Amino acid sequence: MTKSQKTESKKYGDSLPHTTTSLCPECKRPIEAHVFAKDGIVWMKKTCPEHGEYVEKYWEDVELYERARKYASSPVFQKNPNLESTGANCPYDCGICTRHKSHTALANIVATNRCDLSCWYCFFYAKEGQPVYEPTLEQIRAMAKNLASEKPVPCKAVQITGGEPTMREDLVDMVKIMKEEGIDHVQINTDAINFAFKPELPAALREAGSNTVYMSFDGVSKKSNPKNHWEAPYAIENCRKCGMGIVLVPTMIKGINDHETGDIVNFGLNNLDVIKGINFQPVSLVGRMPQKERDAQRITIPKVIANIEEQTNGVITKDDFFPVPSVAPITDFVEAITGKPQYTLSTHFACGMATYIIKGDDGKLVTLPSFVDVDGLLEYLEEMAEERRGKSKVWTGIKVYRNLGKFIEKDKQPEGFSLNKLLFNALVKHNYHAIGELHRKSMFIGMMHFQDPYNYDVERVERCCIHYAMPDGRIIPFCAFNVLPEIYRDKVQAQYAIPAEEWEKQTGKKILDGKYKRKPAPLEAGDVYKKAYLDIKDNFKL
Amino acid sequence: MTHKGRYGTEPFEKVTIEEFSLNGLESASHAAFLQYKVLLIPEVVRANISFPQKKLKVIVSDPSVATKKILAEIKPVRATLTEKGSIDYDTLVAQGFHDVKSC
């Protein structure tokens, strides 16, 4: 744990047990919640004066929670908040307000609420006859400008999402607008069905400046991934052809697909040339759900990690994972070197964890923390950030270059991979193309647990760095936007939506015509499908 | 949506600002919950309740409907209208957009 982490760690997520503010899942009133350890699990307990007591799993591993807590980082307040509000009534005051403790790291822009699928569990997409929300390109540009004008750290990463964003025929134009407005990273959040059948679509998006597809992928079997099991291989192939990187996004549900956690990682590694990461999302239980049903489906970050460890036969372990804010010392160091405010992931430590797995030239898989003293390196960078003040960049650069090697066990490093060189280029030369080297040979394995009314923790919302831009000028944290849709997402989209009949009249289309009708047999008969699921190497075989 | 504004087509041309002094607020969390309930009213565009100042500020699209609903929603807290005015919706939105140049 670094010096600054030690001093800041008490500012939130205090030692167990502690209290925080949550919501009543029924009436959404703010209520005090107790976060405590029992039987090796972290629980949240709260009582609504009207609707009674709720006890919910918060994190399924006390030991891992305590380790993650040590990486709590300093807040980053927005210097030009979008609202005058003080946030005293958090989470009903979002916008971003003056109280919010993280800048926007990734902003979502909803392109449409139409979808080509009609998943039974989704209540977001426009059903037949419901109003259609589709911001104009002009509004999209305004939202992009808004994000890029954030201070002290402009938001330079946007995810275009939906509904299903590929339903919009002007999606490529949206990507162009993002680039014109200075957004460096534009990713498309999609079920990828249109990517499977229209190879020209990912190619055009890539050409326009998007480099990542955030692709729903809930498992390797038909049963676990009814959403896009048949189409995913074809979508991946079309992305491969045009150089579009993919991050797989499995929503993990206990008893549904958690037995395929390791298989998903293995699937990614079999497509390492195109799949750059996997971001597991433990299910967010939105909507009313009885305790028994919640207990049956609830899974949290530590359990997903435990599944990875078990199902990869210990190639990836619990110790390989670090919480999102652990990277704060890296940011501090780059800030000290460049003198400019940098992207800072000051997210709550309980929101997400991640690691990297690298494939050497000999095909051997090695996790990054298994050959890097991560804690030692972070502490050293923190010290160097302090020392840099008043000294020349060159002097610090030479010193860091000489010492980086101390934290890397070269004999354990994957063959053909030099982390020392990569870190020097990224940290000292500030050359982020150097990170491309890491991405060519490695795969990011992360997880982000979006909240629901049962496990809601306002301390987490205050530190959220994944936001939604809205056409009314506000920017809303993810877990406010989606957990309180009635006052954010749905309310504003209803204001800006047009009736379905009007949309159909304007476009000359029928909403239902956009629905996908699957024909599995020809897809299963294709070589691309067979290669993806049948001709696959088991990277974790004992 | 009919109005063409500075940031694209907007749902309202003008909105009404109303400020009420409140009597009967119990606590900060009570104020927060009432704010949530007021925000559920479709005609309410923005709402904020300050517990220290015992004040409710709302921005509504249709005051003839919204005000009655607000007063009913916050009962038994009593509200007295202290200020009323109107602004262009564009002006409200511009605050969120950091007054970035129109598109």
Do β-strands A106-110 and A466-469 pair in parallel, antiparallel, or remain unpaired?
parallel
Between A399 and B32, the more confident residue is B32
In B, which residues are within 8 Å of A496 by CB distance? Answer: 1, 11
Domain boundaries, position B55: 3-96
Residue B38 belongs to domain with CATH number: 3.30.70.100
Residue A475 and residue A481: Cα distance in Å, rounded? 9
In a domain, B101, yes or no: no
pLDDT at position B1, please? Answer: 55
Q: Range with the lowest mean pLDDT among A32-41, A71-80, A116-125, B7-16?
A: A116-125
In a domain, A503, yes or no: no
In A, which residues are within 8 Å of B32 by CB distance? Answer: 29-30, 88-90, 92
Do β-strands A442-448 and A275-282 pair in parallel, antiparallel, or remain unpaired?
parallel
Q: List beta partners, residue A65.
A: none
Segment A487-513 mean pLDDT: 94
Secondary structure in 3-state letters for A22-66 = EECCCCCCEEEEEEEEECCEEEEEEEECCCEEEEEEEECCHHHHH
Test A88 with B51 for CB contact under 8 angstroms: yes
Does A154 touch chain B if contact means CB atoms closer than 8 Å?
A: no
In a domain, B30, yes or no: yes
For residue B95, give how far its alpha carbon lies from the nearest alpha carbon of chain A (Å).
7
pLDDT at position B99, please? Answer: 61
User: Which pLDDT band holds residue A394 (cuts at 50, 70, 90)?
Assistant: confident
The angle that helices A232-242 and A200-208 make with each other, rounded to 10 degrees, is: 40
In a domain, A44, yes or no: no
Q: What is the pLDDT of residues A459-494, one digit of tens each?
A: 999 999 999 999 999 999 999 999 999 999 999 999
Task: Supply the mean pLDDT for chain A.
Answer: 92
Test B9 with A139 for CB contact under 8 angstroms: yes
Test A92 with B9 for CB contact under 8 angstroms: no
In a domain, A490, yes or no: no
What is the count of structural domains for chain B?
1
Three-state DSSP at A383 gives helix
pLDDT above 50: residue A4: no
Segment A224-249 mean pLDDT: 98
pLDDT above 60: residue B20: yes
Test A136 with B9 for CB contact under 8 angstroms: yes
For residue A30, give how far its alpha carbon lies from the nearest alpha carbon of chain B (Å).
6
Chain B positions touching chain A (beta carbons under 8 Å): 1, 7-9, 11-12, 28-29, 31-33, 35-36, 39-40, 42, 45, 48-51, 92-98, 100-103
In a domain, B48, yes or no: yes
Residue A226 belongs to domain with CATH number: 3.20.20.70
A351 contacts A464 by C-beta, under 8 angstroms: yes
Q: The tokens 């007021």 sit on which residue?
A: B38
Domain boundaries, position A294: 106-448
Of A222, A235, A216, nearest to A274 (Cα)?
A: A235
In A, which residues are within 8 Å of B9 by CB distance? Answer: 136, 138-139
Residue A247 carries which side chain, given as an amino acid letter?
V
Q: Range with the lowest mean pLDDT among A115-129, A157-171, A306-320, A324-338?
A: A115-129
Secondary structure in 3-state letters for A407-463 = HECHHHCCCCCCHHHHHHHHHHCCCCHHHHHHHHHEEEEEEECCCCCCCCCHHHHHC
For residue B71, give how far its alpha carbon lies from the nearest alpha carbon of chain A (Å).
18
In a domain, A62, yes or no: no
In B, which residues are within 8 Å of A475 by CB distance? Answer: 96
Between A140 and A427, the more confident residue is A140
In a domain, A252, yes or no: yes
Test B97 with A31 for CB contact under 8 angstroms: no
pLDDT at position A265, please? Answer: 98
Q: Which residue of A has its CA nearest to B90?
A: A472
In A, which residues are within 8 Å of B101 by CB distance? Answer: 145
In a domain, B103, yes or no: no
pLDDT at position A432, please? Answer: 66
In a domain, A69, yes or no: no
Of B37, B46, B51, B40, nearest to B17 (Cα)?
A: B46
Between A59 and A391, the more confident residue is A59
Of A195, A215, A233, A200, nearest to A527 (Cα)?
A: A233
Q: What is the pLDDT of residues A303-354, one digit of tens each?
A: 999 999 999 999 999 999 999 999 998 888 888 888 888 888 999 999 999 9
For residue A193, give how far its alpha carbon lies from the nearest alpha carbon of chain B (Å).
31
Segment A495-510 mean pLDDT: 94
Segment A389-393 mean pLDDT: 70
pLDDT above 60: residue A2: no
pLDDT above 80: residue A123: no
Test A93 with B48 for CB contact under 8 angstroms: yes
pLDDT at position A7, please? Answer: 42
User: Which pLDDT band holds residue A402 (cuts at 50, 70, 90)?
Assistant: confident
A vs B, Cβ pairs < 8 A, gives 97
For residue B66, give how far its alpha carbon lies from the nearest alpha carbon of chain A (Å).
15
- Cα–Cα separations (whole angstroms), residue A287 to A120, A123, A294, A375, A481: 13, 9, 11, 40, 14
Q: What is the pLDDT of residues A179-189, one digit of tens each?
A: 999 999 999 99
In a domain, A198, yes or no: yes
CB within 8 Å of A2: residues ≥ 6 apart: A328, A329, A378, A379, A381, A382
pLDDT at position A191, please? Answer: 97
Does A493 touch chain B if contact means CB atoms closer than 8 Å?
A: no
In A, which residues are within 8 Å of B102 by CB distance? Answer: 142
Does A138 touch chain B if contact means CB atoms closer than 8 Å?
A: yes
In a domain, A457, yes or no: no
For residue A21, give how far its alpha carbon lies from the nearest alpha carbon of chain B (Å).
10
Structure tokens at A188: 């498309």
Test A487 with B9 for CB contact under 8 angstroms: no
What is the count of structural domains for chain A?
1
User: Which pLDDT band holds residue A55 (cuts at 50, 70, 90)?
Assistant: very high
Segment A134-147 mean pLDDT: 95
In a domain, B13, yes or no: yes
In a domain, B14, yes or no: yes
